[in-house]
């Protein structure tokens, strides 16, 4: 493109030089002009060939193509003679017209290059933004994947704890059922022994006053009372165990509900955090 500009400037300089030729020395100057023209033509042609890679490659650009057309026009009009001044004027008009065309094309090319440079800069910025967005999206995907894995692990842990609490609760209820059955059995035994004591007392009252029999009956009564006291202690201990079991069961139920509430709150926080992201 720079070579084309130089060529146009040189043609304009040659045109200015042609216009200052005096009419008095027209024949002599025209003859020398013909030589000068030929030299200028050869110089311009060599410039195009050297800097643009030859006229054969000029078709790759709009400006070299116009230069080639200009050179052909110049060749068809040269050399000049004093017998045909119109040909000389026509040549000047062609040179000026082509010069203006080439200058306009060069301005268009410069504008296009400037626009392309700006678009390239904008595309670079957009590409950087796209890469940044892709990096952020990948980071969010990784975080969501980690959060999903964490929630799955928490769910598995919760299921395991839930199964453990359920098993403990069932075992405690089974133990309480067995203790209730034992208490009922001991209560029936105590009631039976109470009846036996009443029967012995009645026998003592209705029996003849016999010291030996009374003493034996008294011993049997004391023994029965000791057994009753021992069984009453056993019942008390069993009742305490049942109360402790019920307390543990109540605590286990409370812990179970608290754990469910904690897990529910954790899931809700994770869900809100995921939605906010």
Joined tokens for residue 180: 């209730």
Mean of pLDDT over the chain: 70
Q: How confident is the model at residue 30 (pLDDT cuts 50, 70, 90)?
A: very low
What is the chain written as a DSSP string? -HHHHHHHHHHHHHHHHHHT--STTHHHHHHHHHHHHHHHHHHHHHHHHHHHS-GGGGGGSHHHHHHHHHHHHHHHHPSP-TT-HHHHHHHHHHHHHHHHHHHHHHHHHHHHHHHHHHHHHHHHHHHHHHHHHHHHHHHHHHHHHHHHHHHHHHHHHHHHHHHHHHHHHHHHHHHHHHHHHHHHHHHHHHHHHHHHHHHHHHHHHHS---HHHHHHHHHHHHHHHHHHHHHHHHHHHHHHHHHHHHHHHHHHHHHHHHHHHHHHHHHHHHHHHHHH-
* Residue 30 or residue 134, greater confidence: 134
How many CB atoms lie under 10 A from the CB of residue 38?
Answer: 13
Task: Write down the pLDDT at residue 69.
Answer: 59
How confident is the model at residue 211, as a pLDDT? 65
Residue 47, pLDDT above cutoff 50: no
Phi, psi of 91 (to 5 degrees): -60, -45
Give the pLDDT score at 31: 37
Q: Is the dihedral of CA 231, 234, 235, 236 positive or negative?
A: positive
Residue 48: which pLDDT band, with cuts at 50, 70 and 90? very low
| Structural domain boundaries in the chain | 2-129, 139-276
Q: Report the percentage of the chain scoring pLDDT > 90.
A: 0
Q: What confidence score (pLDDT) does residue 75 get?
A: 52
Q: Quick one: pLDDT band at residue 49, thresholds 50, 70, 90?
A: very low
More confident: 208 or 195: 195
Q: Distance (Å, rounded) from C-alpha 96 to C-alpha 89?
A: 11
Give the residue, 63 or 236, on which the prediction is more confident: 236
Burial of residue 64 (CB within 10 Å: 0-12, 13-18, 19+) is buried
Rounded mean pLDDT, 239-244: 84
């Amino acid at each position: 493109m720079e070579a084309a500009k130089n060529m146009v400037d040189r043609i304009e300089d040659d045109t200015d030089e042609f216009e200052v030729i005096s009419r008095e020395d027209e024949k002599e100057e025209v003859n020398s002009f013909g030589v000068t023209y030929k030299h200028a033509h050869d110089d311009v042609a060599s410039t195009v060939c050297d800097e643009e890679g030859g006229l054969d490659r000029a078709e790759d650009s709009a400006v070299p193509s116009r230069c080639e057309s200009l050179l052909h026009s110049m060749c068809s009009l040269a050399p000049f003679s004093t017998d045909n001044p119109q040909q000389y004027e026509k040549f000047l008009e062609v040179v000026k017209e082509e010069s203006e065309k080439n200058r306009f094309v060069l301005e268009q090319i410069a504008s296009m290059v400037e626009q392309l440079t700006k678009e390239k800069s904008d595309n670079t910025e957009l590409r950087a933004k796209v890469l940044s967005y892709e990096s952020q999206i990948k980071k969010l995907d990784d975080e969501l994947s980690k959060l999903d894995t964490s929630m799955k692990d928490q769910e598995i842990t919760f299921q395991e704890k839930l199964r453990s609490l359920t098993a403990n609760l069932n075992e405690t209820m089974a133990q309480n059922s067995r203790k209730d059955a034992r208490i009922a059995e001991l209560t029936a035994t105590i009631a039976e022994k109470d009846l036996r004591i009443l029967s012995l007392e009645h026998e003592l009252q209705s029996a003849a006053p016999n010291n030996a029999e009374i003493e034996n009956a008294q011993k049997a009564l004391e023994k029965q009372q000791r057994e009753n006291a021992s069984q009453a202690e056993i019942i008390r201990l069993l009742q305490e165990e049942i109360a402790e079991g019920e307390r543990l069961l109540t605590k286990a139920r409370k812990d179970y509900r608290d754990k469910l509430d904690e897990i529910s709150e954790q899931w809700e926080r994770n869900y809100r955090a995921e939605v906010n992201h």
